[in-house]
Chain A
Amino acid sequence: MLIEFTDKGLYCSAGNFYIDPWKPVDKAVITHAHSDHARWGHKAYLSHYLTVPLLQARLGPQQYQGIGWNEPVYMNGVKVSLHPAGHIIGSSQVRVEYQGEVWVVSGDYKTENDGISGAFEPVPCNTFITESTFGLPIYTWQPQPVIFEQVREWVQRNGKARQNSVFIAYSLGKAQRLLKALEPLQQPVYVHGAVWNMHQALVSAGIDLPPVQRITPETPKETFQSAIIIAPPSADGSPWMKKFTPYEVGVCSGWMQVRGNMRRRNADAAFALSDHADWPGLLSAVKATGAQQVYVTHGFQSAFSRYLNEQGIWSAEVKTEYGGEEETEENTVTEDNTTGGAA
């Protein structure tokens, strides 16, 4: 096995490095900056150069090395290269080649091009390790332009009713996509500190994003009149939201595809906008790699791998500690709240 599944994470013994390990290791190749994939405590980090500033913002000064897509590096004679995953800015698949055998670790990915994260590139390989966050056929997304239109219509409807529009979206990924969706409205967008931090990191790395205004304890309540606000999931329902009254809450998440989840979140509106591949996306990605064997990680791994087996593609599920971006994000946000207003 070129890549083994160990209790620290995915391990390539030939090259002596880990990919997205969940326990501290010497050498970690990181697919993307979400906190369940990029953890604290490794001696050296290798990732796409656009991921580096995000890691810096999250993990502080560490030993980082940034490389571009399709720029191979060699570790103990093992050829390692990164390829666009389309999940969030900087997100990459990791291609590992040794003695003629090729493995690809997908990290998180989506097959639809969102215009900011880079277009997902199918990488031919023998073995593909894929995520399966939305690995059931009930998850089939509507195209981005359709959802963006719904997003704008909702903001305009709220505006007419003199209500603020509060979007609940992950601070890294979803928030930036929303900015693009809202850009045509030419209205100021106010953001929570967690969203602000990610925005700053990306802008200083040279990414072109629409401007945002940071909400601080000093921001007067009168600022928010038919305004647009973006906040991370942890802010939903917290006293921080009081300032925006009257407001409607719109949750942006692939989980909103199912009505029950929408009700559970107490949202006034829900947009099934996801940074992960839907069912057709997962299937097309797997087929495009031409892999003979497919390992399935976090998500609906047992259903997806069973389906692949029935389609004649050898597959097995792998237990990892990925997933739960939401919970891990909440921790970082609580930290942000305690230091709130200082920056």
Chain B
Amino acid sequence: MKQFAALVSILGTSTKTNDKLEALSNYFSTANDADKVWVIALFSGRRPKRVVNASLLQQWCIELTQLPVWLFEESYHTVGDLAETIALLLPQTTGNDGNDAQPLHTYLTQLVKLEKETETVKKEYIVTCWMQMTKDERFVFNKLLTGGFRVGVSQKTIVNALAQAVQLPAAVIAHRISGNWDPSTTAFQSLLSEEHASLDSSKPYPFYLAYPLEANPQTLGEPAEWQAEWKWDGIRGQLIKRNNELFVWSRGEELMTDKFPEYNDLNTLLPDGTVLDGEIIPGIDGQPLPFALLQTRIGRKNVTRKQLQEAPINFFAYDLLEYNHEDWRPKSLTERRQQLEQVVNGAQHPALLLSTIVPFDTWEQLAATRRQARDHFAEGLMLKRKSSSYQVGRKVGDWWKWKIDPFTIDAVMIYAQKGHGRRSNLYTDYTFAVRDGDKLVSFTKAYSGLTDKEFNEVDAFVKRHAIEKFGPVRTVKPELVFEIAFEGIVASNRHKSGVALRFPRISRWRKDKKPDEINTLDDLKQMLRLYGTAGGEQT
């Protein structure tokens, strides 16, 4: 556990990708095999089920430390992370210095067993573990318990580190560790072996991801070398038909087959050994619908008939990764596209559609088309080099996403709250309001988007101009104006303003504007009428 805690500590604090890579590759070369399998699982999103909920952990920590509840909460608010708060609050132990008595996998195996045990048994095990651990070990242990295990490394870095340690090409590793496998029953050797990979017919290919296009598209060269498509606002997914079974994977490496019964018939309609890459998106008669409708579907365990009618899900296919059991990724996009069109047309299923190609002759012409993206419920355009193969992960050069500019609105800050995690000592979480006659109506929170220097400035303003306290929230003098950018707007009866925004963030500080120059509630309602949806209750 010590070795793992040290690894997590480096990954969590190091700012250099190379250091992270080195730490991981070092870990994969020295740790025991059972631990390695778990680390791959944890770092690729295969967490064990949550054994206890956060409030129980909090309760046990309070019992052990005899702190008042409010003081625990105050501490939690300052630290910004429950696992870390508990690790810091528990009485210090001398720690079992140097001897890594319990390796990572023994804890994880215990935790899997513990799942079905009573609360008393769980508590006894967890408290005993706590009292034998150092601060860093407690932190990762708590992270495992609460299931909130996230590390600051990309899948790509993990794949590269493994590739370095076991001397295999990164693409092979990426493929083998994806898909459906259970860390408690899989051995390290078999996870990385060829037989295992072919046995598991549900395995998706690693997704090829596009970089945002920031430069002028002219820099990409000849328009004729490029294919343009709409950039859909759905869930990126792979549709897999192998061994007469159909699988639907999301980019988040989640198997979602059961969530979309619309696709069921494709199992008989698609040829065996086919893998399609595309967008999972609600649509009727080939026309996409707003993303908000998809969210009503994925949150639920069982899909109702009503949902199937109101938000039918389509698959907008844009690439063919496997055909006739053969890996087509090395072929050119043009070649893959031709075959893709045949596959989709051959299946003749209303839920399976081709993501249309947007024709263009000049970049100016395409720029004009891009401005209409919102009318198509698209976020912009995708530009793909016609000669490109299908690569692994995010690579610069052949695939670009050319998003439309976000919506913006000028608003005044009215509440501030301290941030979490790395900004836990600064007021960095703000609530904003627009004007409604002579009143101010709050309509959104927004977090990121300012530089550290600006955060410090706003923080100082909040400390000097706080009017009222409600717990951690400060009401501040409405004076600072910010431009808020967002990707979409829906009607909401849970917000005073009647609207909810998608991905709101601070785009810049409008020091040039006074609070009486901000936008109004009518401006927001106007945007809702033009681009919004009657989303209603969903969040």
| In-complex Cβ contact of A268 among B14, B420, B424 (8 A) | B14
Query: A75 interface residue, CB < 8 Å from B?
Result: no
B75 near A261 with CB under 8 A, answer no
Q: A140 — nearest CB in chain B belongs to which residue?
A: B92
Distance in Å: Cβ of B425 to nearest Cβ of chain A:
7
B13 near A137 with CB under 8 A, answer no
A138 near B75 with CB under 8 A, answer yes
> For residues 110 through 160 of chain A, which have their beta carbon under 8 Å from a beta carbon of chain B?
136-140, 142
In the complex where A260-B422, A264-B422 touch, is A137 in contact with B14 (Cβ < 8 A)? no
Per the bound structure, the CA–CA distance linking A268 and B139 in Å amounts to 19
Contacts of A142 in B (CB 8 A): 92
* A136, A258, A303: most-surrounded residue (chain B CB, <10 A): A258
Per the bound structure, the CA–CA distance linking A189 and B269 in Å amounts to 74
Contacts of B81 in A (CB 8 A): 259-260
B89 near A137 with CB under 8 A, answer yes
A258 near B71 with CB under 8 A, answer no
In the complex where A303-B74, A307-B68 touch, is A263 in contact with B12 (Cβ < 8 A)? yes
* A260, A264, A270, A300: most-surrounded residue (chain B CB, <10 A): A260
Distance in Å: Cβ of A132 to nearest Cβ of chain B:
12
Q: When A and B form their complex, what is the total count of cross-chain residue pairs whose Cβ atoms lie within 8 Å? A: 70
| In-complex Cβ contact of B85 among A138, A263, A267 (8 A) | A138
A307 near B14 with CB under 8 A, answer no
Distance in Å: Cβ of B94 to nearest Cβ of chain A:
10
Distance in Å: Cβ of B264 to nearest Cβ of chain A:
46
A137 near B67 with CB under 8 A, answer yes
Query: B65 interface residue, CB < 8 Å from A?
Result: yes
Contacts of B425 in A (CB 8 A): 255, 261
Proximity string of chain A (240-282) to chain B, C-beta cutoff 8 Å, 1 when within and 0 when not: 0000000000000001011111111011101000000000000
Distance in Å: Cβ of B463 to nearest Cβ of chain A:
10
Proximity string of chain B (420-454) to chain A, C-beta cutoff 8 Å, 1 when within and 0 when not: 11111100000000000000000000000000100
Contacts of A139 in B (CB 8 A): 88
Contacts of B65 in A (CB 8 A): 137
B12 near A259 with CB under 8 A, answer yes
A261 near B422 with CB under 8 A, answer yes
In the complex where A259-B13, A270-B13, A306-B70 touch, is A138 in contact with B88 (Cβ < 8 A)? yes
Query: A222 interface residue, CB < 8 Å from B?
Result: no
Q: B424 — nearest CB in chain A belongs to which residue?
A: A260
| In-complex Cβ contact of B13 among A255, A257, A263 (8 A) | A263
| In-complex Cβ contact of B78 among A136, A259, A262, A307 (8 A) | A136
Per the bound structure, the CA–CA distance linking A267 and B78 in Å amounts to 20
Proximity string of chain A (201-222) to chain B, C-beta cutoff 8 Å, 1 when within and 0 when not: 0000000000000000000000
Q: For this complex, into which size category does the number of interface residues on chain A fall?
A: 20 to 34
> How many B residues, CB 8 Å from partner?
29
Contacts of B398 in A (CB 8 A): none
Per the bound structure, the CA–CA distance linking A300 and B71 in Å amounts to 11
> For residues 81 through 97 of chain B, which have their beta carbon under 8 Å from a beta carbon of chain A?
81, 84-85, 88-89, 92
Contacts of B290 in A (CB 8 A): none
B74 near A258 with CB under 8 A, answer no
Contacts of B68 in A (CB 8 A): 307, 310
Contacts of A310 in B (CB 8 A): 68
A260 near B89 with CB under 8 A, answer no
| In-complex Cβ contact of B89 among A138, A264, A268, A307 (8 A) | A138
Query: B15 interface residue, CB < 8 Å from A?
Result: yes
Q: B91 — nearest CB in chain A belongs to which residue?
A: A140
Contacts of B421 in A (CB 8 A): 259-260, 263
In the complex where A137-B71, A137-B75, A138-B89 touch, is A258 in contact with B13 (Cβ < 8 A)? no
Query: B462 interface residue, CB < 8 Å from A?
Result: no
> For residues 122 through 137 of chain B, which have their beta carbon under 8 Å from a beta carbon of chain A?
none
Distance in Å: Cβ of A160 to nearest Cβ of chain B:
14
Query: B80 interface residue, CB < 8 Å from A?
Result: yes
Contacts of A261 in B (CB 8 A): 422, 424-425
Per the bound structure, the CA–CA distance linking A266 and B79 in Å amounts to 17
Distance in Å: Cβ of B462 to nearest Cβ of chain A:
15
A267 near B13 with CB under 8 A, answer yes
B424 near A257 with CB under 8 A, answer no
A262 near B70 with CB under 8 A, answer no
Proximity string of chain A (18-54) to chain B, C-beta cutoff 8 Å, 1 when within and 0 when not: 0000000000000000000000000000000000000
Per the bound structure, the CA–CA distance linking A300 and B78 in Å amounts to 10
Q: A266 — nearest CB in chain B belongs to which residue?
A: B15
A263 near B75 with CB under 8 A, answer no
Contacts of A262 in B (CB 8 A): 13
Per the bound structure, the CA–CA distance linking A260 and B420 in Å amounts to 8
Contacts of B92 in A (CB 8 A): 140, 142
Per the bound structure, the CA–CA distance linking A260 and B428 in Å amounts to 14
Contacts of B71 in A (CB 8 A): 136-137, 303, 306-307
Q: A263 — nearest CB in chain B belongs to which residue?
A: B422
A136 near B74 with CB under 8 A, answer yes
Enumerate 27 A-B pairs (CB-CB under 8 Å) in ascending A order: A136-B75, A136-B78, A137-B75, A137-B89, A138-B85, A138-B88, A138-B89, A139-B88, A140-B88, A140-B92, A255-B425, A258-B78, A258-B79, A258-B88, A259-B13, A259-B84, A259-B421, A260-B420, A260-B424, A262-B13, A268-B14, A300-B78, A303-B71, A306-B70, A307-B68, A307-B71, A310-B68
Ordered nearest first, which 10 A-B pairs have the shortest CB separation? Answer: A138-B88, A260-B421, A260-B422, A264-B422, A263-B422, A138-B75, A260-B424, A303-B74, A266-B15, A136-B75
Q: A259-B84, A262-B13 are in contact. List 12 more A-B contacts (CB 8 A).
A: A136-B74, A136-B75, A138-B75, A258-B80, A260-B81, A260-B420, A260-B423, A263-B421, A264-B452, A267-B13, A268-B15, A303-B74
